[in-house]
Homo-oligomer: A and B are copies of this chain.
Amino acid sequence: MTRKISFKTAINEALDLEMTRDPSVIMLGEDIVGGCGAPGEADAWGGVLGVTKGLYAKHGNRLLDTPLSESAYIGAAIGAAACGMRPVAELMFIDFVGVCFDQIFNQAAKFRYMFGGKARTPVVIRTMVGAGFRAAAQHSQMLTPLFTQLPGLKVICPSNAYDAKGLLIQAIRDDDPVIFCEHKNLYSAECDVPAESYTIPFGEANVVREGKDVTIVSYGLTVHRALDAATTLAQKDRIEADVIDLRTLSPIDWDTVLESVEKTGRLVVVDEANPRCSIATDVAAYVAQHAFGALKAAPQMVTAPHTPVPFSPSLEDLYIPTADAVVAAVGKTIARAKAA
């Protein structure tokens, strides 16, 4: 059965299904239940934005509210994973990673290698990413490049409710540490989602729009900006864009990207992260190295500026790459090709 549900509900459903299916799945996080031990309602919050609401009622103490000690409880999730559980830990905002980064990148990510292949650490770290919430510099970052850089981690960033559900179920069943990035400005976005359980494999990008003139690669929220840009381009300039939603950043589906560029000869990468050492540079550089012959014009990168995220709405609205910026970048790839 397929219904229209929100991204938030899809996440909740994925967690519910996996907790029901597999008793080794547990959840840890700040206020993911909410109000444990307080005089009021026990299932009060269900996470800071209500994403995990209702799960405590069903799964009881397999959900644990935590003290405000990210190193301790993210590390505990990792330790429990190394001992056979499948914990899903919530790092409320990815921006908080600075207080628990070691457990993620030196412990979880490296156990298997350091221990000569003798460890498995099936932990999922769910975390909110991205700007647009007026949440300012320390609650709005798109830190996907930092995690993608690091061997031993898998990095997922879905753009819609359908993918969110399938990728999260996959993440929970996956035997490696997964950083699961949920864009807070997508939480209320709805789409058709089956009620049943299903998985989406890692490393398979989604071609969300087909076209022959230019390849636009993105992930997360900016996939929608890319699609808006593609619509404008089609309507105004009869330019047909292939729009690729990477969905998973590590592993990444190079084949789909290369195939598209072989067809279109033009590449625009749209990334909400800051520009340096970003997903944008990652994709542009890979394509330049591996599909140079196919490129008819310089690859273009559309990213956030090299600045922290500003608070004021007037500035934040300029921060996330806009559809206009994508259109302009596509224009450059076409103009240059013509000029060449």
| Residues of chain A whose beta carbon lies under 8 Å from any beta carbon of chain B | 71, 95-106, 109-110, 113-114, 136-138, 145-146, 148-152, 250, 252, 273-274, 276-290, 292-293, 295, 297-301, 305-308, 310-311, 336, 340
A-B contact pairs, 6 of them (CB 8 A): A97-B102, A101-B101, A114-B138, A290-B298, A292-B297, A292-B336
A276 in complex: contacting residue of B97, B101, B149, CB < 8 Å: B149
Bound Cα distance from A298 to B225, whole angstroms: 29
Query: Which chain B residues lie closer than 8 Å to A96 at the CB level?
Result: 102
With A288-B298, A299-B285, A310-B113 given, is the CB distance from A274 to B103 under 8 Å?
Answer: no
A338 to chain B, nearest CB (A): 13
Q: Across the A-B interface, give the 8 residue pairs with the lowest CB-CB distance, nearest first.
A: A98-B102, A292-B298, A284-B285, A281-B285, A288-B288, A98-B101, A145-B277, A285-B285
A107 to chain B, nearest CB (A): 9
Please determine whether B151 and A274 come into contact, CB atoms closer than 8 angstroms.
yes
A281 in complex: contacting residue of B146, B282, B297, CB < 8 Å: B282
Query: Which chain B residues lie closer than 8 Å to A113 at the CB level?
Result: 137, 307-308, 310
Interface core residue of A104, A287, A289, A340 (most chain B CB under 10 Å): A289
Q: Write the chain B residue with the least CB distance to A289.
A: B298
Please determine whether B109 and A104 come into contact, CB atoms closer than 8 angstroms.
no
With A98-B101, A101-B97 given, is the CB distance from A289 to B301 under 8 Å?
Answer: yes
Please determine whether A308 and B151 come into contact, CB atoms closer than 8 angstroms.
yes
Please determine whether A289 and B282 come into contact, CB atoms closer than 8 angstroms.
no
Query: Which chain B residues lie closer than 8 Å to A97 at the CB level?
Result: 101-102
Query: Which chain B residues lie closer than 8 Å to A298 at the CB level?
Result: 288-290, 292-293
Q: Apart from A95-B106, A98-B100, what 9 extra A-B contacts exist at CB < 8 Å? A: A106-B137, A110-B308, A146-B146, A149-B276, A151-B274, A285-B301, A288-B295, A292-B295, A292-B297
A175 to chain B, nearest CB (A): 17
Please determine whether A137 and B149 come into contact, CB atoms closer than 8 angstroms.
no
A79 to chain B, nearest CB (A): 16
Q: Write the chain B residue with the least CB distance to A269.
A: B285
Q: Write the chain B residue with the least CB distance to A99.
A: B102
Please determine whether B109 and A308 come into contact, CB atoms closer than 8 angstroms.
yes
Query: Which chain B residues lie closer than 8 Å to A286 at the CB level?
Result: 281
Please determine whether B109 and A98 come into contact, CB atoms closer than 8 angstroms.
no
A106 in complex: contacting residue of B102, B138, B293, CB < 8 Å: B138
Please determine whether B289 and A114 come into contact, CB atoms closer than 8 angstroms.
no
Bound Cα distance from A282 to B138, whole angstroms: 24
Bound Cα distance from A308 to B311, whole angstroms: 37
Query: Which chain B residues lie closer than 8 Å to A299 at the CB level?
Result: 285, 288-289, 292
With A102-B98, A310-B113 given, is the CB distance from A282 to B288 under 8 Å?
Answer: no
